[in-house]
Amino acid sequence: MEVLLMKMPSSDPDVIPQANKEDELESAKAEMGEVKEENQRLKKMLDKIQENYKSLQLSFFKILQQGAPNKSTTSLLNVSLSLGTTEPIKHGKTTSSIKPSLSLGLDSKSQLSTPANSSEETWPPSKIQNTTSRNGDEDQQNPVKRARVCVRARCDAPTMNDGCQWRKYGQKVSKGNPCPRAYYRCTVAPGCPVRKQVQRCAEDMSILITTYEGNHNHPLPVSATAMASTTSAAASMLLSGSSSSTSQQGLNSTATTTLPTQVLNGFNFSLHENSTKQFYLPNSTSSPLFPTITLDLTSSPSSSSTNFPSFPTTSLNFSSSESRVFPAVWGNGNGYPGYGAKVPYYQNQIYESFSGDNLQGQTCQQSLTETLAKAITSDPSFRSVIAAAISSMVCSSAKSGDPTDQKAEKFGQNLMQAIISQDGKDESSFSSSYFNGLASSTSQTGSSLLQPSFPFPIFNTAFQSASDDKEHKN
DNA sequence: CGTCTTTGACCAGCGC
DNA sequence: GCGCTGGTCAAAGACG
C-alpha cells in the first residue's frame, strides 16, 4: 500500500536515534493495523453489495416467472438485450418515448417504430421454415427453440468466436448493405440444426451482427456454453418476459406498442415487436414469423442506427470502440479456438445474469486484475457504477460516527476519485495496479475480498473463464 | 487426402 | 407472370 511506502524511512538509519527508529516502527505497525481495518471494512462493503446483487437477481427471476407467457403473442416478439445502449434511438423516422414503470430497478420503455424491413428480422425465410418442417422434429420445437438470437458486437474479425464450430455454406450480398452476409451452420455434431448469419452493420462497419437460430442437439464445448446459454436464456426470457399483447395486425401497423425494458445489474432487457426495425439491415420482404432476440454489445455513438429508445438507466456497458479490448475473444470463427481463448467476460456476465449461477471459480488474481482494468478503462459508466456503489456504502458507513469509518470514507472517496478520473485515459496499468493493490492487501489479511465471492458476476466469471482457459491450454 | 471456403446456380417467396 | 431478393446447394479450388 502506498501508505506504507510513504512511511518508509528515507534518511540514513545510522544517524537516526534508536528511539526514532522504534517510533517509526510503531507508526508503521499502526498504519498496517489501520490498513487491515480498512480492508475488513471494504470486505463488508463488498459483501453487502453482493447481497444486494443477489437480491436483485432473485427479484428479476421472480418477475420473469410471474410474467404469464402468452406463447401465441410472444412468438411475434423480438427481445433485445442491450448492454449499455442508452443513446437516442431511431425507429425509422420516429423517435421513442419512455415510460418507467416497473419497480425493483426494472424499467420499461415504450417505443414507436415504422414498419421495418430488416433482413435480420426475417431470417430464416419461409423456405427454411418449410425445410425445417420437413425435417420431422424440427417443427416440433417450441418457440424458444426456434427463437433467433441476434448479437451485435464490435469486432474487427470476420466473425465472432463463440466457441462453437461453424462451417460456412454460403454468402450473399444483400440489398442495401455493401457487406456480404455469410451463412454458417454448426458442425460440432452432424445434423445440428443451428445456423447463424454474420454480417457487418452497413452504418458502422465495426459492428458485427451475428444471428443464431436453432438449438444445438449436442454437448457444447465449455467455451461455447456462454453464448449458447445466453441465447437459450434470452429465448426463455422472450417467452416469459412479455406481458404486452400484440397481434399480427400490430405487426403490420406503422406503430408498435410498448414493451418493457428491464434493467438488472445495468443490463437492459428490452422487448421489441418483431416489426420494430431494431437495426437497420434494410430490405426484407417476408413477415416476421420467429421471435428474435437481439443482444446489443455496442454503445458507440456511431451506432446511431440502433433502435433503442433513449431512457435514463444505469447501464453497465462492456463494449468498447476499441475491439482490442477483447483481444482473445473475437476473431477466427472456425474450429475450436474457444478452447484456447477466453470466454468474453461480458458474455459470461449475461449468462450469469440469466442463470443466476454465481460461479465460484478458482482464484486468479491476475485475471481478475486484468478484467477489472479492462472493465474500468473500457467504459466510463462502469466506473461510475462502481464509484456510486462505493460512495453509497462508504457514506452509509460513515454515518455511524465511528472514527474508523471516517477513514474508510476517505479511502472510498479516494477510490472513487481514482476510478472516475480514468475517463479518457489509457489507464489499464493504473487500474491493474490499483486492484492488484487491493487484492494483495486483501491476501495479507487472509480474506477473500476480490475473490470468487465478488459481488459482480463479471468478476466471478473472469475467474472462471481464466480457469477454463488454463484448463484448455493444459 | 480430408476439410473448409468460395462462388455461381438454383429455388421459393413476395411484390408489382 | 415476371423480376427481385434471400437462402441454400454443390462443385471447384485452397489449405494444412
Is the pLDDT at A247 greater than 80? The verdict is no
Q: Which residues are A78's β-sheet partners?
A: A272, A292
Q: Environment class of residue A368 by beta-carbon count within 10 Å: exposed (0-12), middle (13-18) or buried (19+)? A: buried
Looking at residue A72, its pLDDT comes to: 38
Spanning CA of A274 to C1' of B16, the rounded length in angstroms is: 25
A165 touches strand B (CB under 7 A): yes
- A457 in Cβ contact with A349 (< 8 Å): yes
**Span A18-38, mean pLDDT?**
83
| B15 C1': nearest CA residue | A285
Write down the pLDDT at residue A152. 83
Comparison of pLDDT for A349 and A228, the residue scoring more: A228
**Which nucleotides in chain B lie closer than 7 A to a protein CB?**
4-9, 11-15
Task: Please name which of A310, A214, A318 lies closest in space to residue A270, comparing C-alpha atoms.
Answer: A310
A148 CB neighbour count, 10 Å cutoff: 28
Give the pLDDT score at A367: 40
Distance CA A166, CA A315 (A): 32
Are A404 and A30 in contact, with CB atoms under 8 Å apart? no
Q: What is the mean pLDDT of chain A?
A: 51
In the predicted structure, residue A274 carries a pLDDT above the cut 70: no
Q: Report d(CA A265, CA A316) in Å as an integer.
A: 7
pLDDT (0 to 100) of residue A233: 67
The per-residue pLDDT for A410 is 55
Determine the nucleotide nearest to A127 by Cα–C1' distance: B12
Q: Is the CB of A167 under 7 A from strand B?
A: yes
For the stretch A352-390, pLDDT in tens is: 333 333 333 333 334 433 444 454 444 444 444 444 444
pLDDT for the residue A298? 67
What pLDDT score does A27 carry? 86
Spatial distance between the Cα atoms of A272 and A24, rounded to a whole number of angstroms? 65
Stretch A297-325: mean pLDDT, rounded? Answer: 38
CB proximity A283–strand C (7 Å threshold): yes
Check whether A227 has a pLDDT greater than 50: yes
Is the CB atom of residue A129 positioned under 7 angstroms from any atom of strand B?
A: no
Whether residue A28 is predicted with pLDDT greater than 60 in this model: the reply is: yes
Question: How much is the pLDDT for A147?
Answer: 63
A52-106 residue pLDDT tens: 767 776 776 666 555 544 433 333 444 445 443 333 333 333 333 333 332 322 3
Which bases of chain C are under 7 A from a protein CB atom? 4-10
The pLDDT score that the predictor gives to residue A277 is 35
CA A432/CA A413 separation, integer angstroms: 19
pLDDT score at A441: 36
Residue A55: its pLDDT value, please?
A: 75
Per-residue pLDDT band for A220 (boundaries 50, 70, 90) equals: confident
Residue A45's pLDDT is 81
Whether A238 and A74 have beta carbons less than 8 Å apart is answered as: yes
Reply yes or no on whether the pLDDT at A275 is more than 70: no
| The predicted structure's pLDDT at residue A107 | 32
* Nucleotide with smallest C1' distance to residue A283 CA: C5
Residues sharing a CB contact under 8 Å with residue A6, sequence separation 6 or more, in sequence order:
none
Tell me the CA–C1' distance in angstroms for A167 and C12.
Answer: 17
Extract the C-alpha cell encoding A54: 443477489
The percentage of residues in chain A with a pLDDT greater than 70, rounded to a whole number, is 26
Question: Separation of CA A127 and C1' B13 in angstroms?
Answer: 8
Distance A273 CA to C8 C1' (A): 28
For A27, A84, A107, A300, A304, the CA distances from A88, given in Å and listed in that order, are 55, 12, 16, 12, 8
DSSP string, A287-350: PP-S-EEEEE----TT-TT---------------S-GGGSTTTSS--SSSGGGTSPPPHHHHHH
> Residue A321 in contact with residue A285, Cβ under 8 Å?
no
Average pLDDT, integer, range A134-150: 48
Contacts of A84 (CB under 8 A, 6+ apart): A266, A268, A299, A315, A316, A317, A318, A319, A379, A381
Tell me how far apart the alpha carbons of residues A296 and A452 are, in angstroms, rounded to a whole number: 27
What average pLDDT does range A151-155 have in this prediction? Answer: 80
CA of residue A181 to C1' of nucleotide B6, angstroms: 13
- pLDDT at residue A148 greater than cutoff 50: yes
Band (pLDDT 50/70/90 cuts) for residue A136 is: very low
Distance, in Å, from the CA atom of A320 to the CA atom of A298, rounded to the nearest integer, reads 7
